[in-house]
Amino acid sequence: MRIVAATHNPGKVPEIRALLGGHYEVVTAGSLDIPEPDETETTFVGNALLKARHSADLSGEVALADDSGLSVAALDGAPGIYSARWAGPDKDFAFAMRKVEERLEEIGSDDRRAWFTSALAVAWPNGPAVVVEGRVDGLLTFPPRGDRGFGYDPIFIPEGHSQTFGELDPAVKDSLSHRARAFEKLKAALID
């Protein structure tokens, strides 16, 4: 079966392919010339639904979207749904990770607790949609470590590990990440 990955983030695509398994042919919204919609909702779930519906309606095919982000406890959950926007128009995540560190320094907090959230939505063209959310907790570390993964991976150490997502084998990330946990829920929701 073919499924449209409603994302323009190249970092997400290999994870979506790995987590979906070999049963699906994954084509990206970018490869179908589907433009990025404005993420106008105020929650991960809302933005995931918006992106999945947009790609499903424009492609006429089943679409899967991920809306995700890093939340920092001491920053009241920021950057959260604004995680991509903190990197600016150049998508500079070295800058975004420094910004997280600077904000923590500004408030003088040594609380390093953080979590990633992924909302996954599947939408059928002009039809229904299903949405679920997964989360992984961990601790932040500075400076960034490792060059695997994408986004904020080099500053995030998942619970139970001593290496960042930027250092861990991608298979380890895919076994416990926010996205992996959301996929487990998605599979359960689609089977029920």
- What is the distance of C-alpha 25 from the center of its chain? 20
**Is 8 among the annotated ligand-binding positions?**
yes
**Is 35 among the annotated ligand-binding positions?**
no
Sign of CA dihedral 116, 29, 51, 36: positive
HSE (CB half, 13 Å, CA atoms) of 103?
19
**From the CB of 158, what's the least distance to ligand ITT, in Å?**
10
**Is 173 among the annotated ligand-binding positions?**
yes
186 sits in the region (left: phi over 0; alpha: psi -120 to 50; else beta) called alpha
Residue ranges in contact with ligand ITT by CB under 6 A: 7-9, 12, 36, 39, 51, 66-70, 83-84, 93, 116, 149-153, 165, 177, 179
Residue from 33, 66, 67, 192 carrying the catalytic annotation: 67
Annotated catalytic residue 67: yes
Sheet of 113-123, strand order = 25-28, 2-5, 63-72, 113-123, 129-140, 156-158
CB-nearest residue to ligand ITT: 151
For the annotated catalytic residues, the residue numbers are 67
Binding residues for substrate: 7-12, 68, 150-153, 173, 178-179
Binding residues: 7-12, 38, 67-68, 150-153, 173, 178-179
